[in-house]
Amino acid sequence: MWLDRIVIVLLAAAAGMAILVTLGIVLSLVFETMQFFEKVPVSDFLFGLKWSPQTAIRADQVGAEGSFGILPLINGTLLISAIAMAVATPLGLTSAVYLSEYSSKSARAWIKPALEILAGIPTVVYGFFAALTLAPFIRMTGGQFGLEIASESALAAGIVMGIMIVPLISSLSDDVINAVPQSLRDASLGLGATQSETIRRVVLPAALPGISGSLLLAASRAIGETMIVLMAAGMAAKLSLNPLDAVTTITVQIVALLTGDQEFDSAKTLSAFALGLFLFVITLCINVVALGIVRKYQEHYD
Amino acid sequence: MENTHIVKKFDKNLDKLKARILEMGELVLHQVEDATAMLGAFDPVEVDRILQLDLTVNGLHKEVHDRAELLITRRQPLAVDLRQTLAPINIAGELERIGDHAKSTAKRGRILCRSSTEETVLEMIRQMSTKVQEMLFDVLIAYTNDDIELAAKVRMQDKEVDTLNKNLVKSVINILDSQASGNSESLIQLTLVSRNFERIGDHACNIARYVHQISTGEDLKASI
Amino acid sequence: MIDLTKKAGFGLDQRHRAEQRFQWAGKLAIATSLLFLLVMVGSIVTDASGVLRQTQIAVDLDLGPENVNPSNPQAASYGRIVKSSLRDMFPEVTRRKDKKRLYNLVSPEGSFEIAAMVTDNPALLGSVQTLWLTASDDLDLFLRGKVDISLPPKQRRISDAEITWIKILEDGGQLRRVANWGFLSSGDSREPEIAGILSALIGSAFSLAVCFALSFPIGIGAAIYLEEFAPANRISDLIEVNINNLAAVPSIVFGLLGLSVFLGVMGLPRSSPLVGGMVLALMTLPTIIIAARAALRSVPPSFKEAALALGASPVQAVFHHVFPVAMPGMLTGAIVGMAQALGETAPLLMIGMVAFIVDIPDSVLEPATALPVQIFLWADSPERAFTEKTAAAIIVLLIFLICMNLIAILLRRKLEQRF
Amino acid sequence: MVDPIISARGVDIFYDTKQALFDVDLDILPNKVTALIGPSGCGKSTFLRAINRMNDLIPSCRVSGSLTIDGQDIYDPAVDVVALRAQVGMVFQKPNPFPKSIFENVAYGLKIHKLSPSKSELQDRVEWSLQNAGLWNEVSDRLDQPGNSLSGGQQQRLCIARAIAVQPKVILMDEPCSALDPIATAVVEDLIDSLRKEYTIVIVTHSMQQAARISQRTAFFHLGTLVEFGDTKTIFTTPKDERTQNYITGRIG
Amino acid sequence: MSIRLTTTAAVALLTVAAPALARDQINIVGSSTVFPFSTTVAERFGKSTNFKTPVVESTGSGGGLKLFCAGVGEKFPDITNASRRIKSSEVERCATNGVKDIVEVMIGFDGIAFANSTQAAQMSLSLRDIFLALAKNVPNGDGTTQPNPYSTWNQVNPELPEVKIEVLGPPPTSGTRDAFAELAMEGGCKSFDWIKALKKSDKPAYKSLCHTLREDGAYIEAGENDNLIVQKLQANSAAFGIFGYSFLEQNSDVVQGSTVNGVAPEFEEIAGGNYPIARSLYFYVKKAHIGMIPGIQEFLGEFTAEDTWGDEGYLADKGLIPLSTSERKVWADKIDALIPLDM
């Protein structure tokens, strides 16, 4: 059985890679973050209501106006992710349900990969689409209803991002739904439930742990997405829940800060690392909570 | 049944059951034959042997019962199998009763030897004995081969035995009426022996019914 | 009495309408997604169509010994020869500024093309030869009607004089449109007319191969461990949370990690597909693990139990019986992850793959770019002709992706079953 | 003579081009337990599933001939399959409670069919079903526990409670005890016997003894044909057809 | 195929421990603004010489300098491009990492255009107009400031049309943005005398006032993709955009540059130093790498050839605004002699 033991150790090492990667990320972020917090107080960063790295162009002014407040970025990140999920969840789930429960095998055989292509289109393309097609369209439509809409809006970016993550949800959920035992469907149909009742009341609840996994993955992707927001949502750091406003996200700021023409040791650039670490911690918290919920649910009905 | 069971042991169990019945039948047949022989020439040792044989028959009866019980428990036989399992219990009962009648006949031989015997009546007894032995033999063959026609024949022969018995009784009454002879005891004993053979015939006939039932599932008791 | 018709009660009308609505919602959802796909791919294809052909211009070149030294043809200034030929064709052009415009009809690549032709066929030397050279992007765009000549001359890239020259050349049969194989067979260039996708394509292929070779086994291994062998303790929980968390880490952070570990600590070469693949592997790992775990979870436990009952060790039971059944689901996860990796730009930025690289890499250690990087760079280039190059590069990327999916679909179809 | 509740005439069932049932004529009498027996693949389950059109789920499945319930053809286009299944319940081989609480499992049919408008009515109905399924005493104090937490036999009775909650006329059972132990089987068999007073039950079983124990009528299927159909007693004591005989006595036919 | 690639990858992983092959091509990093010019030169250099084509990365000026200053050796880039001058703090950082002798090269100018769609009328602006339209706080006439109240151009200057102020420009992290703030905003800002005086008395306040762009939506941070800005302008004819000259030149059919202080953003005007919003572009060479990596000297030669960066050179075709002839001479001499930067 020594061979078995070796295999298990190898597998555990593979799982341990995740820890290693995390450690690496934390280490590569923490050092620079510390430097950043030497220049800007932690409380300003965490509770500041204003994100405006522009005023901090000179060293002697850094943080003077508390312009490294992360809240507007969180606001933007959540707003856009929420819009994206609001678009992608119904689209992705209903697509997955339709594919696995209704569509013929042959239709599924080509629709599923076609949807997966959607996930493979480079985000730059989505960005262009959002910025040049959808945003003006929203602006025009809004104009007809007398709404003043900026040419950049969270809505355009969110919708397009939603489309992008549809295949992530649909493809993974489709697999999960497929794995729900046929006997549960039979039981429900045998009681005279219609197919949609069976799906809504039996299949989906049974597939929920897996589906929530795919949703979590999609949400993660939405939170981590950069290009589309960069191109279509503008970069205005605003505390606003209005989807028609231009907003910016943490990731956009990270990319912009790290690839900009800035000095490499200015608070501006260093703040990118603090943002990265913060995002890391926040998603960690979300995941801990999510794991707890999923686990509780599983214990109940597995 | 040409088809064999998927479970081979089932067939073997049924065969063994059958074999025990046949073994029993053979013993009983001998008992009847030997007891009949005892009527003319009494031999106390032989009588003891016949009486002793009855214990073996009873043992076989019990064995058939046990085997059938086990078979039902293990195989839960249905339809023809069930009948093939249940019938031996009954047949063994019938055979055991036949054995008892043979035993009783043999015992009467002891009494008969003390007095003179009416040769004509004795001849009739022998005739009856031959008949029931024939029936018994035939019914065992019918049972072995699931031969319902042969079984039907046996059932027909029962009437002959009844007739022989009636005739014997009539003859005895005639003798008793005509002469006040001193051998009335032997005559009564012979009547009782005749009665024994008549019962044996009935039992053989019952066995024949079971043979019929095994094959057809039809219970003839009610009809005939 | 039993009534089997709609009148039987049970709120049937309403429920059937709900069923219809539900089905329509499904169709609508798929249609919406496919419509988006169609619109986007459609517009890209339309944009990209211009790349299929390129314009060439016939120039009479004096390759006599006074211009080219036959013993050392590489040393000759072919650019000057082209210029003088153009001047000969249009002797009326005298102003310096106009001359420059004239020279601009031919791509700067022209002189290198002559050099290549001469090397291939030394017989060309010694006399005047008519050779087809690649025309400039402006000329190409004009010929394809992409220049609005109704605008005032100041607002367009092609002046009235140039239009006259082009017309003359066209009438003289000195312009032709040929299939543009160069796009698929050459590397990047700053001149849109000769820029090609091959180096990026190979770079992507190399990176993905490395990425797949690393992330698939590690991801599957981690998933199997967590799903089948991990003890239910805090460490397992930690790993699990970690993996979910990694999926949400912005990709550029993986680039930072790659920069400090792979380049800094391990000293691997910058801009190489090896490092690119490794960074992408880190990035796709969580996706693969999460999907693979879902797939493993959907395998009926009876499979494993049956194997264990036969005396298989837990490892054998998992690898022989659970693993093959979960394979299609794992592949789905891998495809989603690889597709994500294929389209990723940001982390490559940190490890030097967002670069201008002309040479086509022939190992994973040589500098290379990747398809999305090429798209990103071209989309950011001022030259108008790069727009269609961008679109064409996207098409190439999509075809790459479709090929990848195709392989996976074939595998999946072979393996898929419903219990 | 009682009129049959279900009546099949010349029923053929195909999967694609493969014919699974050939010209089946069968009358199922109300308030009787009818057992369908036969070797695997003989078409008994196919026939059972045809009665509440569970076969519809298999796209390649085609039914011809006439299959009527109370004189109405099940496959008539005017027939609503939901209405049919609401009145022809089904219990499956493996207990398959939904991943919901015990209460929700039983209430499921009532809710989808909107049979119990008020909450108290729903509770009464659920209790009634569990009572009738002989499960009430065992679960009354833990109705909010998941259905999966019950033992196998309890789960199957839960599934039966779920089926009878909507008060169907007919209950179809597809080998309901094959996954249960003898005690659980006995309890379920007892339940089936008591349900006979209210419902017509059609049961597919592989256990001859079970069919003999609980059914009044038995149909023997072989290779897609209905070989013999009659009183259970007759079928199991004196079957007419040699194939039946061979099958029930476990002989190589 | 994929199996072979996998094997290649595996083999490559195994050989990681072995020392990397000596680098035989120049490695250039840095500004995305200089990138198009640097790559053009690199390509020509690769094709016309026997050296390998240099690898040019677009990392941003700051990122480029960070890599550049990380150390000396094959692992570190040889040249970095910058759309601004190296800062003294960066020079210090370089020095601590052993990067001592840095040769600075100024290669030309990049004009920053203030443009709108050709569908709309061309605008004629002064720096003060730009400042008043885009600053976060503007003077209110009594020596104090107020949050920018202007929502249309004619409120800024009655001569301008009544069009909503809507300007798409680079984010604060961009060098173009810094240059714009420094040249255009500060230029307009200084035109108020009291602010000019403030420069001497309270420099931070001065900088803050002059450099801070408004955040109420009139100035829209649009990312660094200039093509995208151009296309957005096409879609919205009321909006203005701030982007590099080369994009204006390439897209002259759809966008037009506004004149600033009466000067149009045209080649000759920028080259002549008349157009006020133009910045210098640089690159920096690690002297220690010359001789270590083949071709650096030759590459510098190619870059500073008259055919390359001259008035008629091919970089001018790509949109680089050349230095004046005399300046070119000065810089070319510096490079020939490899005179290190002295700050």
Q: Please name each of the domains of chain B with its CATH number.
A: 2-216 (1.20.58.220)
**pLDDT block averages, 10 residues each, chain A of length 302:** 83 84 84 84 81 56 58 89 92 91 86 81 81 81 77 85 88 83 89 90 86 82 81 76 82 79 71 86 78 64 42
Residues near E268 by Cβ (< 8 Å), separated by ≥ 6? none
| A to C CB pairs, distance under 8 Å | 291
Contact criterion met (CB < 8 Å) for E60 and A261: yes
Examine the pLDDT at E17 and tell me if it is beyond 60.
Answer: no
Contact criterion met (CB < 8 Å) for A14 and C239: no
Given CB atoms, is A106 within the 8 Å cutoff of chain D?
A: no
Range E18-53 burial, b when 16+ CB lie within 10 A, else e: eeeeebebbbbbbbbbbbbbbbbbbbbbbeeeebbb
Which of B189-198, C7-16, D57-66, D215-224 has the least mean pLDDT?
A: C7-16
Closest CA in chain D for residue C8: D83
Contact criterion met (CB < 8 Å) for C329 and A129: no
| C to E CB pairs, distance under 8 Å | 131
Token pair for residue D115?
Answer: 């049979």
**E111-279: CATH number:** 3.40.190.10
pLDDT per position as a tens digit, E58-70:
888 888 888 898 8
pLDDT per position as a tens digit, C262-313:
887 888 888 889 999 999 998 888 888 888 887 888 787 788 888 888 888 8
Cα dihedral B123, B124, B126, B130, rounded to 10, equals 140
Q: Nearest CA to CA, how far is C367 from chain E (Å)?
A: 8
Asked if residue A120 lies in contact with residue C397, where contact means CB atoms within 8 angstroms, the answer is yes
Given CB atoms, is A263 within the 8 Å cutoff of chain E?
A: yes
> CA angle, corner C396, sides to C393 and C398, nearest 5?
110
Asked if residue D236 lies in contact with residue B78, where contact means CB atoms within 8 angstroms, the answer is yes
> In chain E, where are the structural domains located?
21-109+281-337, 111-279
Token pair for residue B184?
Answer: 């009335």
Closest CA in chain E for residue A262: E62
Residues near D139 by Cβ (< 8 Å), separated by ≥ 6? D102, D130, D145, D150, D154, D158
Asked if residue A19 lies in contact with residue C238, where contact means CB atoms within 8 angstroms, the answer is yes
Contact criterion met (CB < 8 Å) for A256 and E223: yes
What is the rounded CA–CA span in Å between residue D136 and residue D143?
A: 9
Closest CA in chain D for residue B8: D251
Asked if residue E170 lies in contact with residue E177, where contact means CB atoms within 8 angstroms, the answer is yes
Given CB atoms, is A255 within the 8 Å cutoff of chain E?
A: no
List the beta bridge partners of residue E293: E290
Token pair for residue B73?
Answer: 């428990």
Instruction: Using an 8 Å CB-CB cutoff, list chain D residues near C8.
Output: 80, 83, 86-87
- Tell which residue, E211, C352, E242, E224, has the closest CA to residue A256: E224
Confidence band, pLDDT 50/70/90 cuts, at residue E16: very low
Q: Is C71 helix (H, G, I), strand (E, B) or coil?
A: coil
C229: exposed, middle or buried (Cβ count in 10 Å: 0-12, 13-18, 19+): middle
Amino acid in the structure at residue B183: N
What is the rounded CA–CA span in Å between residue D169 and residue D52?
A: 12
Give φ, ψ of A114 to 5 degrees: -60, -40
Q: What is each CA distance from C148 to B5, C163, E235, in whole angstroms?
A: 94, 12, 18
Nearest to D237 among B7, B10, B217 (CB): B217
Nearest to D208 among B78, B216, B217 (CB): B78
Question: Which of C6, C7, C10, C12 is most worth mutating to test chain D (most D CB atoms within 10 A of its CB)?
Answer: C10
Confidence band, pLDDT 50/70/90 cuts, at residue E9: very low
Q: What is each CA distance from D252 to B4, B95, C132, C199, D188, in whole angstroms?
A: 6, 33, 87, 72, 31
List the beta bridge partners of residue E108: E281
Q: Nearest CA to CA, how far is D242 from chain A (Å)?
A: 35
Residues of chain B with pLDDT under 50: 1
Q: What is each CA distance from C57 to A225, C100, C104, E317, in whole angstroms?
A: 45, 17, 12, 20
Confidence band, pLDDT 50/70/90 cuts, at residue D214: very high
What is the rounded CA–CA span in Å between residue B14 and residue B67?
A: 9
Token pair for residue D249?
Answer: 């006595």
Examine the pLDDT at D27 and tell me if it is beyond 90.
Answer: yes
> CA angle, corner C355, sides to C354 and C359, nearest 5?
130
Which of B17-31, E212-226, E261-275, E290-304 has the least mean pLDDT?
A: E212-226
> CA angle, corner E169, sides to E166 and E170, nearest 5?
155
**Beta pairing, strands D33-37 & D200-204:** parallel
What is the rounded CA–CA span in Å between residue C229 and residue D203?
A: 43
Give φ, ψ of C265 to 5 degrees: -80, -50
Closest CA in chain D for residue A208: D99
* Residue entry with tokens 């262009």: A128
Given CB atoms, is A82 within the 8 Å cutoff of chain D?
A: no
Asked if residue C322 lies in contact with residue C231, where contact means CB atoms within 8 angstroms, the answer is no
What is the rounded CA–CA span in Å between residue A39 and residue A153?
A: 32
Question: What region, left, alpha or beta, does residue E271 occupy, with left being phi > 0 and alpha being psi -120 to 50 degrees?
Answer: alpha
Q: What is the pLDDT, as a whole number, of residue E6?
A: 46
Domains and CATH numbers, chain C: 56-93+100-178 (no CATH), 198-415 (1.10.3720.10)
Instruction: Using an 8 Å CB-CB cutoff, list chain C residues near D113.
Output: 9-11
The mean pLDDT value of chain C amounts to 84
What is the rounded CA–CA span in Å between residue E115 and residue E134?
A: 15
Q: What is the pLDDT, as a whole number, of residue C416?
A: 63
Amino acid in the structure at residue A76: G
> Residues in chain C, how many?
419
Q: What strand order describes the sheet that includes D61-69?
A: D18-28, D6-15, D61-69, D72-73
Instruction: Using an 8 Å CB-CB cutoff, list chain A residues near E168.
Output: 151
Confidence band, pLDDT 50/70/90 cuts, at residue C95: confident
pLDDT per position as a tens digit, E127-175:
999 999 988 888 887 778 888 888 899 998 898 888 889 898 887 777 7
Report the share of chain C in percent with pLDDT over 90. Answer: 10
Token pair for residue B174?
Answer: 């005639």
- Chains E and B contact (Cβ–Cβ under 8 Å for 3 or more pairs): no
What is the rounded CA–CA span in Å between residue C87 and residue E33?
A: 34
Closest CA in chain E for residue C96: E312
What is the rounded CA–CA span in Å between residue A232 and residue C380?
A: 16
Domains and CATH numbers, chain D: 6-97+171-248 (3.40.50.300)
Q: Which long-range contacts (CB under 8 A, 24 or more apart) does D103-108 make?
A: D103/D143, D103/D144, D104/D147, D105/D147, D105/D158, D105/D159, D105/D161, D105/D162, D106/D130, D106/D158, D106/D161, D106/D162, D106/D165, D107/D165, D108/A188, D108/A191, D108/A193, D108/A201, D108/D162, D108/D165
Q: What is the pLDDT, as a whole number, of residue D130?
A: 92
Examine the pLDDT at E12 and tell me if it is beyond 90.
Answer: no
Nearest to C33 among A95, A219, A287 (CB): A95
pLDDT per position as a tens digit, D30-41:
999 999 999 988
- Tell which residue, A159, A162, A114, has the closest CA to residue A133: A159
Helix spans in C192-320 (H): 198-224, 234-248, 251-258, 273-297, 301-309, 314-317
Rounded to the nearest angstrom, the gap between the alpha carbon of residue A282 and the centroid of all alpha carbons in its chain is: 12
What is the rounded CA–CA span in Å between residue B53 and residue B102?
A: 10
pLDDT per position as a tens digit, C46-56:
888 888 888 88
Residues of chain C whose C-beta is under 8 A from some C-beta in D? 1-6, 8-12, 15-16
Token pair for residue B122?
Answer: 């004795």
Asked if residue D93 lies in contact with residue D159, where contact means CB atoms within 8 angstroms, the answer is no
- Give me the half-sphere count of Cα atoms (radius 13 Å) on the Cβ side of residue C108: 20
As for the ipTM of the complex, it is 0.76
Instruction: Using an 8 Å CB-CB cutoff, list chain D residues near B80.
Output: 245, 249
What is the rounded CA–CA span in Å between residue E103 and residue B222?
A: 127
Q: What is each CA distance from C224 to A175, A214, C221, C233, in whole angstroms?
A: 18, 18, 5, 16
List the beta bridge partners of residue C165: none
Contact criterion met (CB < 8 Å) for D250 and B10: yes
Fold of E21-109+281-337: D-Maltodextrin-Binding Protein; domain 2 (3.40.190)
**Domains E21-109+281-337 and E111-279 agree in fold:** yes
